[in-house]
Amino acid sequence: MSQTSIRVTRAELYEKAWATPIRTLAKEFGLSDVGLAKICRKHNIPVPPVGYWRKKETGHRVNRPALSPGENGHETAVIYVRERLSSDLAALAAEVAPKIAIPQELSHVFVLRAEELLSHGKENEQKLLIPKKGVSFHILVSRENLSRALRIMNAFFLALEERGQSISWPKDEGSHLTLCVDGETVRFSLQEITNSMPHVLSVSEKARPWMAPRWDSKLSGQLQFRIEALPYFIGSIRRTWADGKIQRLENCLGDLIVGLKVAAAAIKKERLKSAERQRQWEEERKREEEARRAAEEQKRKTEFVTDLMQNWERAERLRRFVKALEASAPQLDLSDDEQRDVQEIVDWTGKYADLVDPLLDLSESISEFVHPEKAYSWLK
């Protein structure tokens, strides 16, 4: 994902932070307030404490801590900002998220199919359920969270279809479930988040520590919805929604639907761009191929005409030689046999001159020049 960098001095960022609330200032940099606060802490820049702006509004005086020198003399902060959404995608992302109710009973055919696969499934190394047969890659949760995940997925699928989107899951055992959102195929998953923890060696593993895993996975109990397999350069669109300290994934289904529409629009946009790049590349390749063929044809014709000229000049020299030979022979004191030999040379040379002279069979030369494929079958 592309990024832009903003260079700002610590003093400038310090003054901005105390002149404008962090929540407002963060938008200027295209960041969240939490992200900008982290950058300030990283560069040891004091920020207003909680309640500062309220106290300032009511006339209370609040001391502002001084800005200490930067670590190792570094007084510049570099802020990396993800590429913002284009205006069309930003407009889609700004749509009001619908309210989605969560039915307690499962009714969607694909959710019932997933329930059948996973309720009789087995646990992998991370204690997440996988089917014994077939695949259900769009749901990967523990047995404890299966019921909740299925209810969320059931409400999600019903809401999508109510809004004209389609869901497919072929009956083939190894098939994947996919969504078709506004005409674009979107892959997704609902997973339980696992945390990695350093592995504690058992008594038996201490004898051969190199054989033991470095990390263990621990189930968090939190669910996360993720849009999968998006093109890398598709832009800064939201890809994940998850349980938080207060937020529950059940309350994010409306945002999910909006996010899927943004993702589908971004996929379509990138697909059209890719098709246009492919079309331009193909046109460029054709132009290069045509130029190469034209150059080869020019070279062929040049060589062909050069050969014609050389053969014609050779024929003319041979005929001049014949005339010179015929003129010189009577002046020599030659026997009858020698005269016959000279005449044989004259006759053969004259025939050879006619053989190499292209003007005596001009129609064949013209045909080969204009239509080489008729003379050479491999050019057809």
User: What pTM value is reported for the model?
Assistant: 0.63
Q: Which residues of the chain have pLDDT under 70?
A: 1-4, 81-84, 232-235, 375-380
Residue 50, Cβ neighbours under 10 Å: how many? 6
With 0-12 / 13-18 / 19 or more C-beta atoms within 10 angstroms meaning exposed / middle / buried, residue 223 is buried
Query: Per the structure block, which two tokens stand in for 49?
Result: 């404490």
How far apart (Å, rounded) are the C-alpha atoms in residues 20 and 33?
Answer: 12
Tokens of 366: 């013209």
288-308 as b/e: b if 16+ CB within 10 A: eeeeeeeeeeeeeeeeeeeeb
Q: Which helix (H) or strand (E) holds 174?
A: none
Give the Cα separation of 369 and 107 in Å (integer): 76
Work out the number of other CB atoms within 10 angstroms of the CB of residue 92: 19
The closest of 142, 144, 158 to 105, measured between CA atoms, is 158
List the beta bridge partners of residue 181: 184
Write b or e for each residue in 99-126: b if 16 or more Cβ atoms lie within 10 A of its Cβ, otherwise e: ebebeeebebebbeebbebbeebeeeee
Contact 128, 196 (CB under 8 A): no
Residues pairing with 122 in the sheet? 130
Which string of DSSP letters, residue by residue, matches 14-55? HHHHHHS-HHHHHHHTT--HHHHHHHHHHTT---PPTTHHHH
Residues 6+ apart with CB under 8 A from 133: 117, 173
Q: What is the pLDDT of residue 81?
A: 66
Which stretch of DSSP H or E encloses residue 303?
A: helix 253-328
Angle CA 370–371–375, to nearest 5:
130
CA distance 82 to 124: 36
CA dihedral 39, 244, 250, 256 (to 10 degrees): 20
